[in-house]
């Protein structure tokens, strides 16, 4: 109590001193208010214009809170210097830790030395972390954090399984992280170098995406080597993009490039390149191929988004001029899209309006000149609600549709149900089911129904404090009734069982776990096993590696994934 009284008296004395000097007081209390408390002494040095404090010092301003062992405030220069074994700077949910802070509360610029911080699961460290307000023309960010000679990893160990060293790093909280001069290490071995790497924040999920620049690598006897990676980049202030690459030895691939160049505040030149080759869903011996390039001018301001450009399709050897306009007004979104095929002299058209209501999303569209045409079509998608303990979603579609040269008036009613619950503390049941009813009118007068259901049961058995056993079984059914008039509405009938069991040995602390599992896939229609796999997995805090053997295909596989 005595220390608390002394602390209050000292704080009052400081405020009284500020009141004696009107110019200085106005600067501190009006533009940059702050408070200072300490468990130890707070001393004012009148000769040097310094406030010195020690022992449990807390400095608070509108921007953040500082906790340290010692602190000096230079009233003339408006600079706070905090030192100690641990100096902690707290701003909203962001925490910086170091052994020294120098901060100008007038310019809102400062540095933390021998510093570290954490962004979600990503640990950042550097010899110096600078933080500052954004430029006046930047209205997106509240603060910018810069690191020189940065170090980052999601691993919690002193000797991490992987880490990244970078020449510099810029963190824009809840927006993006720009890393330059990126060197990726597995253990102590440098694997590769990137000139830059960008980690973007996804507002929908509230998380940063593609946090680590390490590709997912795997191998199996059927497809050979498997590789998938994402490379977001930024070059200077005006150029950014995303490279996605994925392939296997069977020849399947999915490669893309999205490249943007900022011409002016609201104008950018956009280029998209796609090279894709995937196994046909209907015929495993056939492949679907896509090779195209899009390039054009994009204007975006407020509610308006306009694009005009050209597309070249390498597979069909066709050039298409495209233009689209999107306009948002409250709950309404309006869109138009026009395309003219310069090769075959034909038009593509797309018009629509979307209304986002409290209980459903309504869309009325007219689409012509594409593989599937809507002439026009109204869809209503209800928002998920809870009904009798089930997550329930109802949808409706009505209109005129053309597919593969066949035109039909049709209505579709869809119902989706889902629920997950525990029968006991260790036994979980999951049920997901959806029904689609297609009714074709006019001369067809046909009905086609699709029923999908998935039922999963999983039991968690704790054998000891470090060992657990988890048997599970999934039943999946796709059943159809009637005849589809439009080929794209058709689904294949399927019935399958997916049994499995997994034994887990939990290692102490953050060491992760070892897992041994057996799982399979049995086709009830053909009465054959499609898969019976034995898998050994090593889970770490930041990565996972597995080795597996499929007894049906008589093939091995392995993979590594950075979390």
Residue 279 lies in a domain: no
- Does residue 140 sit in the same domain as residue 194? yes
Out of 123-132, 339-348, 403-412, 525-534, which region has the weakest mean confidence (pLDDT)? 123-132
- Does residue 120 sit in the same domain as residue 71? no
- Does residue 132 sit in the same domain as residue 173? yes
From 214, 247, 276, give the residue that closes a domain.
214
pLDDT of residue 29: 40
pLDDT of residue 133: 78
How would residue 4 be classed by pLDDT, with cut points 50, 70 and 90? Answer: very low
pLDDT of residue 229: 84
Q: What is the mean pLDDT of residues 439-466?
A: 92
Q: Which helix (H) or strand (E) holds 291?
A: strand 287-301
Beta bridge partners of 247: 227, 253
- Does residue 175 sit in the same domain as residue 203? yes
Structure tokens at 280: 């046909």
Residue 241 lies in a domain: no
Residue 308 lies in a domain: no
**Residues 185-235: tens digit of each pLDDT:** 888 888 888 888 888 877 777 777 777 777 778 887 777 788 888 888 888
- Does residue 176 sit in the same domain as residue 200? yes
Instruction: Give the CB-side neighbour count of residue 441, counting CA atoms within 13 A.
Output: 8
Count CB atoms within 10 A of the CB of residue 302. 8
Residues 200, 206, 210, 211: is their CA dihedral positive or negative?
A: positive
Domain tally, the chain: 2
- Does residue 145 sit in the same domain as residue 181? yes
- Does residue 45 sit in the same domain as residue 86? yes
pLDDT of residue 138: 61
Beta strands in 483-527 (DSSP E): 494-506, 513-523
Structure tokens at 335: 């869109």
**Residues 126-167: tens digit of each pLDDT:** 888 888 877 766 656 667 888 888 888 888 787 888 888 999
Residue 328: alpha-carbon gap to chain centroid: 24
Residue found under tokens 């593989």: 371
**Residues 17-31: tens digit of each pLDDT:** 333 333 333 333 445
Mean pLDDT of the chain: 86
What is the pTM for the complete model shown? 0.74
- Does residue 112 sit in the same domain as residue 171? yes
Q: What is the mean pLDDT of residues 472-501?
A: 94
Residue 560 lies in a domain: no
State the Cα–Cα distance between residues 546 and 17, nearest whole angstrom.
67
From 214, 234, 251, give the residue that closes a domain.
214
Question: Which has the higher per-residue pLDDT, 125 or 138?
Answer: 125
pLDDT of residue 144: 82
210, 198 contact by CB (below 8 A):
no
pLDDT of residue 129: 86
Residues 54, 57, 60, 65: is their CA dihedral positive or negative?
A: positive
Residue 198 lies in a domain: yes
| Length reported for the chain | 563
Alpha-carbon distances of 63 from 34, 38, 73, rounded to whole Å: 10, 19, 16
pLDDT of residue 205: 74
- Does residue 73 sit in the same domain as residue 131? no
How would residue 451 be classed by pLDDT, with cut points 50, 70 and 90? Answer: very high
pLDDT of residue 27: 36
Out of 113-122, 399-408, 462-471, which region has the weakest mean confidence (pLDDT)? 113-122
Residue 328 lies in a domain: no
pLDDT of residue 136: 66
pLDDT of residue 281: 65
Residue 322 lies in a domain: no
% of the chain at pLDDT higher than 70: 91
pLDDT at residue 181 greater than cutoff 60: yes
Domain range for 82 is 33-92
State the Cα–Cα distance between residues 433 and 453, nearest whole angstrom.
4
From 183, 214, 245, give the residue that closes a domain.
214
State the Cα–Cα distance between residues 258 and 230, nearest whole angstrom.
11
pLDDT at residue 508 greater than cutoff 80: yes
State the Cα–Cα distance between residues 278 and 313, nearest whole angstrom.
17
249 SS3 class: coil
- Does residue 207 sit in the same domain as residue 112? yes
pLDDT at residue 379 greater than cutoff 60: yes
Residue 292 lies in a domain: no
% of the chain at pLDDT higher than 90: 47
Give, in degrees to the nearest 5, the angle at Cα 478 between 409 and 284: 95
Q: What is the mean pLDDT of residues 425-453?
A: 92
Residue found under tokens 């074994």: 85
State the Cα–Cα distance between residues 149 and 130, nearest whole angstrom.
12
- Does residue 116 sit in the same domain as residue 207? yes
pLDDT at residue 15 greater than cutoff 60: no
Q: Residue 148: which CATH number?
A: 2.60.450
pLDDT of residue 17: 37
């Amino acid at each position: 109590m005595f220390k608390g009284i002394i602390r209050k008296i000292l704080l009052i004395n400081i405020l009284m001193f500020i009141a004696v000097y009107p110019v200085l007081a106005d600067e501190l209390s009006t533009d940059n208010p702050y408070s200072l408390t300490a468990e130890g002494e707070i001393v004012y040095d009148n000769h040097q214009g310094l406030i010195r404090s020690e022992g449990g010092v807390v400095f608070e301003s509108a921007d953040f809170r500082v906790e340290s062992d010692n602190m000096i405030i230079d009233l003339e220069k408006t600079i706070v210097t905090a030192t100690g074994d641990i100096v902690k700077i707290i701003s909203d949910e962001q925490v910086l830790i170091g052994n020294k802070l120098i901060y100008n509360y007038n310019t809102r610029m400062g540095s933390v030395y021998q510093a570290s911080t954490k962004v979600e699961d990503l640990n950042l460290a550097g010899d110096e972390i600078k933080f500052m307000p954004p430029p006046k023309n930047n209205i997106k960010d509240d603060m910018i954090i810069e690191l020189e000679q940065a170090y980052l990893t999601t691993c919690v160990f002193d000797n991490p399984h992987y880490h990244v060293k970078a020449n510099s790093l810029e963190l824009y909280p809840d927006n993006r992280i720009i890393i330059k001069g990126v060197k990726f290490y597995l253990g102590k071995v440098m694997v590769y170098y990137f000139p830059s790497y960008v980690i973007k924040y996804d507002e929908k999920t509230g998380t940063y995406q593609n946090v680590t620049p390490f590709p997912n690598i795997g191998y199996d006897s059927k497809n050979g080597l498997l590789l998938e990676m994402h490379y977001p980049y930024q070059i200077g202030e005006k150029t950014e993009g995303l490279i996605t690459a994925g392939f296997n030895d069977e020849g399947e691939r999915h490669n893309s490039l999205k490249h943007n160049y900022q011409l002016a505040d609201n104008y950018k030149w956009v280029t998209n390149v796609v090279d894709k080759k995937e196994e046909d869903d209907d015929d495993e011996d056939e492949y679907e191929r896509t090779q195209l390039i899009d390039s054009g001018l994009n204007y975006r301001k407020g509610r308006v988004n306009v694009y005009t450009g050209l597309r070249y399709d390498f597979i069909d050897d066709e050039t298409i001029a495209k233009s689209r306009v999107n306009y948002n007004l409250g709950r309404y979104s309006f869109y138009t899209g026009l395309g003219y095929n310069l090769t075959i002299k034909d038009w593509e058209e797309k018009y629509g309006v979307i209304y986002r209501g409290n209980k459903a999303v309504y869309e009325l569209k007219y689409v012509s000149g594409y593989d599937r045409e809507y002439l026009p079509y109204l869809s209503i998608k209800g928002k998920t609600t809870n009904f009798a303990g089930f997550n329930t979603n109802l949808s409706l579609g009505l209109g005129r549709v053309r597919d593969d040269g066949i035109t039909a008036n049709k209505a579709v009613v869809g119902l989706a149900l889902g629920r997950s619950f525990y029968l006991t503390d260790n036994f979980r049941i999951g049920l997901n089911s959806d029904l689609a009813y297609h009714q074709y009118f006019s001369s067809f007068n046909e009905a086609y129904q699709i029923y999908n259901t998935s039922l999963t049961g999983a039991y968690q058995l704790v054998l000891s404090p470090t060992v657990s056993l988890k048997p599970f079984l999934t039943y999946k059914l796709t059943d159809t009734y009637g005849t589809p008039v439009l080929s794209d509405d058709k689904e294949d009938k399927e019935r399958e069982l997916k049994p499995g069991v997994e034994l887990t040995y939990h290692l102490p602390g953050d060491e992760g776990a070892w897992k041994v599992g057996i799982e399979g896939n049995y086709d009830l229609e053909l009465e054959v096993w499609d898969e019976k796999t034995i898998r050994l997995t090593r889970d770490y805090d930041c990565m996972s590696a597995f080795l597996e053997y499929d007894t049906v295909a008589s093939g091995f596989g392995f993979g590594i994934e950075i979390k």
